[in-house]
Structure 1
Amino acid sequence: MGDLLAARLQMAFSLGFHIIFACVGMAMPFLMAIAHWRYIKTGDAVYKDLSKAWSKGVAIFFATGAVSGTVLSFELGLLWPEFMEHAGPIFGMPFSLEGTAFFIEAIALGLFLYGWGKIPKWIHWSSGLVVGISGVASGILVVAANAWMNSPTGFDYDPLTNTYSNIDPIAAMFNPAWFTQALHMILAAFTATGFAVAGVHAFLLIRKPANRFHQQAMRIALLVGGIAAFLQPISGDISAKDVAVRQPAKLAAMEAHFHTEEYAGLLIGGIPNEETGEVHYGIKIPGLLSFLAHGDFKQEVVGLDQIPEDERPPVAVTHFAFQIMVGAGTFLMMVAFLYFFAQRFRPRWLGHKNFLWLVALSTPLGMLAVEAGWTVTEVGRQPWIINGIMRTKEAVTPMPGIQYSFYTVVVVYTLLAVLVSWLMKRQVQTLAQNYDSMDEEIDLSQNKANTKTEVIEEL
């Protein structure tokens, strides 16, 4: 394994691991705040227990995310020193502000965790809301830095001397790609987290259908995840139109669009052959790619044939990742539609095993879509680390043996993932046990009543 590949794989694995915790950190505090608000308004203890359970989950993910995020910061400098030498002074502001948001989030989370019965209820609730707002702010700031890599602005670059001058950190942070990427990422985080949480509780409801703790948890999570799932295609359309202008090579790779043409068709599925420039087994909808990219069915869409060969991103990986992202997102949107329909017109469906299995099977799809989306973002930008300015191979460290640090990261993060999963499982099961006991008492009372009825009927 070469050093460049090892460095890219290590960064990809670290980012892929961290992004799950980042998504949960953005969205789960709002689930916690909704449950807490319902407890304040209704006095129903199940919402208090939900809020407490989710707050402890937020704390676990916050601690793990802090560690994995710190590792990523070190990796930027250790694996890509040439990149950080030039890019650090330009896009360093979002990272410094993200640190501020992180500290605010930590303080607010501490207040929420230890504030039960000690501070006024609305101040306590507000502290939970601040956790979520700070998490979203952190996500936006980090995405702004990544967006700068896709749309570098805020400096002048001289390729002859390889110098960067007239640096404007504000312009770099609010680059042309930051809004579209941030919007898409936030909605993805809420969709993925909402369905992941709903799926876990749905699976537990299959075993304990009358458990109110899991019932209310699933409904709150589906509400948040479902709304985000419906909004996601809108942000996707905005992102597609932006990418078509700024990164035509990425759009061409996403769609395996090899030949420049007007009235370009949108490809569904398909296996691209980069050598022949053909796609097998795909379905094309005529004109739809032109419309989605430019708002005009007849508009020309740039194909890979207009991109120099040494500047083309890997087509197969980008295309498959894009198809996975869209497919998973579409499925989740359909589940969300079914939930809202059942909530309004067929409430009994929500407790049916078929519906619960459908939600349970949706558990990993949101996170899978997030991972696929980041694969599109990063692989689709190749061979550039700074789009159009610095190639990835120019930025990698000259130090040998990167593959060993990659192997170490994989082992450590895998163990950490197992530990976090175990802690979360124990946390949810512990707080749901009271409601399991209540269910058993209800079942016992019902059985006694049925037995008494049968005896009376026999007499």
Structure 2
Amino acid sequence: MDDFIAARSQMALSLGFHIIFSCIGMVMPFFMAVSHYYYLRTNENVYKNVTKAWSKGVAIFFATGAVSGTVLSFELGLLWPEFMKHAGPIFGMPFSLEGTAFFIEAIALGFYLYGWDRFNKWFHWFTGVIVGVSGLASGILVVAANAWMNSPAGFDYVNGEYINIDPIKAMFNDAWFSQALHMTIAAFVATGFAVAGVHALMILKGNNVLFHSKSFKIAALFGCTAALIQPLSGDISAKDVAERQPAKLAAMEAHFHTEKSAALIVGGIPDEEKQEVKYAVKLPGFLSFLAHGDFSSEVTGLDRIPKKDHPPVAITHYAFQIMVGTGMLMMLVAAIYFLALWKKRDWLSHPLLFKLFVIATPLGFIAVEAGWTVTEVGRQPWIINGIMRTADAVTPMPGIVYSFYTFSAVYASLAVFVAFMLYRQIKMVGRLYND
């Protein structure tokens, strides 16, 4: 492994690790605030217990997310100095604002955790809402910075120089809305299904059924609602990618040849040498519709793009298929759940329904990781799309491979520690909050 691949691998590992905690940090406070609201309105002690249990989980993920997020900030400068030299002044504003949002989130979380029976009950609840809103804002601001890498704006690039810098225009670039919307909904899907799955497992085991049933319902409603509306944001994102990053769309769909009425490919194994996809199911015209809203429109293939600018097709294609496939499975589970709520109330207590959610527990985060793989790998070989190549941004310092190995060990250890803390928290719930 050379230093360039090691630098990319370390960044991918750090981002893949951090994004899990980012999603949970964006969403779990809203679950917490809803259960707290139910407690204030009904005075049912079970909702207070749910709120306190979830708040401890939020604290664990907040601390871990802060550590992993700080590491990412340092890695941007240490691994990609040429990138930060030019890009920092342009897209630094969303990062600065993200720091402010994080600061507000930390203060609000402190108030919330230690505010029980000390503040006015509604002010205390409101601090929990602030934790959620600031966490959501923090995530959106970081995504805005990433969107700038996909759709650079807010500057003029003349003779290798970045001039006429406009940080506001850079932050609100043409891709920020579609990416922020898609990522926000994905965070609700992933966290909702993960939390619902854990509580479903506890229900199946017969542990504190009332406690876990209340928790399950809140998480499942959030996750299932988000899963059903996610395709709308996916459609917006697909059309944006088709317009601004045709090479990425072509890699996502392993679309080698420019054509009208282009087929949407389901599955398949791309063969880049022969420029074909084997064993795929093809839906004629659907890629044209997905990209341009017209079944007969032309979709740019990789044949129109210089070979040196091709993204890794196989990785991008497989990641896209995994993202869509897991999303469809969660939509199916969501449809069954809402059918149960609407027409088949007896299904709500059936073990099979809870087993479905247990199976679906990791699907949301698998989809998130696959989606970010599409976003980052599909942009290659560019770190700033069409402006700066990734290979030109990497640090010239040697020995990055050893840094990658070290960070891999650290993140593996941290993952084990977090898993232990969560397991301990779940076991503690069993002892403290008996029905």
- Alignment TM-score, normalising by the size of structure 2: 0.99
What amino acid maps onto 2:420 in structure 1? W
Higher CA-based Rg = 1
1:159-238 residue pairs with structure 2 within 5 A? 160=159, 162-208=160-206, 211-238=209-236
**1:63 matched residue in structure 2:** 63
Unmatched tracts of structure 1, length 5 or more: 439-459
Show structure 2 runs of 5+ residues with no match.
none
Give distance in 1, aligned partners of 2:2 and 2:187.
33
SS of match in other structure, 2:259: coil
Question: What is the RMSD computed on CA atoms of the aligned residues?
Answer: 1.0
- Counterpart residue identity of residue 177, structure 1: A
Q: Say whether the 8 Å CA contact 1:211–1:435 is kept in structure 2.
A: no
Counterparts of 2:314 and 2:360 in 1: how far apart (Å)?
25
- d(CA) in 1 for partners of 2:383 and 2:207? 50
Which shows bigger deviation, 65-74 or 424-433? 424-433
The amino acid of 1:35's aligned partner reads S
Q: Which amino acid aligns with 2:295?
A: F
Q: Tell me the alpha carbon deviations over residues 156-186 of structure 1, each in whole angstroms, 9 at most, x when there is no partner.
A: 112x3x2111100000000000000000000
Report 1:259-408 matches (<5 A).
259-408=257-406
The one of 244, 247, 250 aligned to 1:249 = 247
Q: How does 1:134-153 map to 2 (within 5 A)?
A: 134-153=134-153
**SS of corresponding position for 2:260:** coil
User: How many angstroms apart in 2 are the aligned matches of 1:343 and 1:118?
Assistant: 38
Amino acid at match of 2:391: K
Partners of 2:100 and 2:151 in 1: how far apart?
25
TM-superposition CA deviations, 1:176-211 (whole Å, max 9, x none): 000000000000000000000001111111111661
2:202, 2:186 → 1: CA distance?
24
Matched AA of 1:257: H
Q: Which residue in the other structure is 1:410 paired with?
A: 408
Asked if 1:422 corresponds to 2:415, the answer is: no
Give percent identity, aligned residues only. Answer: 67
Q: Structure 1 309/195 Cα, relative in aligned 2: closer, same or farther at 3 Å? A: same
What is the CA distance between 1:429 and its match in structure 2? 2.2
How far does residue 435 in structure 1 lie from its aligned partner after superposition? 4.9
* TM-score, structure 1 normalization: 0.94
2:130 is the counterpart of 1:130: yes
CA distance in 2, matches of 1:403, 1:212: 50
- Secondary structure, aligned partner of 1:271: strand
How far 1:341 moved relative to its partner? 1.1
CA distance in 2, matches of 1:370, 1:220: 21
Q: Is the 8 A contact 2:111 2:127 kept in 1?
A: yes
How much has 1:434 moved relative to structure 2? Answer: 4.5
Is the Cα–Cα contact under 8 Å of residues 80 and 396 in structure 1 kept in the other structure? yes
Q: Is the 8 A contact 1:144 1:174 kept in 2?
A: yes
Distance 1:327 1:238, change over 3 A: same
**Alpha-carbon distance in 2 for matches of 1:423, 1:69:** 19
Deviation, 1:357, is: 1.2
Paired residue for 2:79? 79
* Alpha-carbon distance in structure 1 between the residues aligned to 2:348 and 2:280: 36
Counterpart in the other structure of 1:19? 19
